Chains A and B, each alone.
Chain A
């Protein structure tokens, strides 16, 4: 079984029951968030290492996602109230995903059926990971 080290803890990475486009996903939970990683016979090593790094310091990404969405979305029109709350992170779960990108999945009070994603891309130093896209899906 694959494990990752976060702080002093050893976190098991288990196979997820869901399969996307024939791509198996793998996941671990950390601070009540799910971290999903794509891979064929096991979690892709590059994606898993990125997931581990993001998990170790996830709060700034949730904050940046909130700022990014707030800069464009009119919450009043949804009757929604801040903040967007993170549900989990996704790393390379679609075949076309790049190893330098990941997404955070969020929900917000008042938007019962909305599932929001913000995509971060590593644009290189000194900026690092930067929000480049978002989506809202009705579910």
Chain B
């Protein structure tokens, strides 16, 4: 086999494994922030995504979202159950399909952080595959190969297709689900900050696969995307910690973790399009902006439990729009549009705005509709007693911590 090809296949396979690891990473990131009595429910909502989406992806998801690549609105079912996908090409197709499947799995998982502490698992179990087909697949298609991508908007690893998409869907979901009892007066601190930090480390590690792997090749593009990811995460964490140290009095682990994730989300659409100091600026801006926007939920009265909107939606949107400023085709020897600050005018920025606007409208409307249908049929909310005593026991018959010798 050709050496370059085998290197590419190797890198894509490793990246796929890295992105898979991000779903458990996200599970712990959220789970540690959640309550002791609900941590297992949070873990289950996340792990469930890597149980159901891989199957859905290979049966219809991949075909509808990428076959053929340049269909404007939707693919077809030619590749259902991976028909026609062999290994004659050295495995690059199969590796890529597996890789993309990991993205499909983690995207609905992002929403779990918003609906924490009160959603029926049966409703979540239906929501995930339905949302995946009606929202994730179309938006993914439009951004990657479809009409939005064809118009020249840029999304390297899924800032729009994944983070803005899931982030605004989280808003729609919590508007239907309602606030937790006692919110916002009664709050609870994270039950395990060590779990949050473990999750953050796993997410950062996996994100190298999420971003650099999107080069779908082991080459210079992947290396720059890796470097961008490295810098934006650090800058985001630094920015958030500095802001909160100055504003609230203490530098916190949760602030560092949140800033890191905000930086990573923001660089996701930009990872293969920016260079030099741009990733640092993107990370810093995302860290500062998200540090302030997480407070909006209290101002506007929506109970986004673990700040999915404030970090993923806002971070993704900020990063995606900043591509319109910092995109540098010269560095990459490529022909994508130039950003505003590199002399490219407003063209790219406007396409970024349009692409995100379309994704926001579609995702919000469809997610709202799906939740309303679930609410009207099987119900989306647990009863008051389950909410008060805890979902781990009520929905899963499990307890997270049996402490001491009193098992």
Are A and B a genuine interacting pair, yes or no?
no
B binding-site residues for A, Cβ under 8 Å: none
A binding-site residues for B, Cβ under 8 Å: none
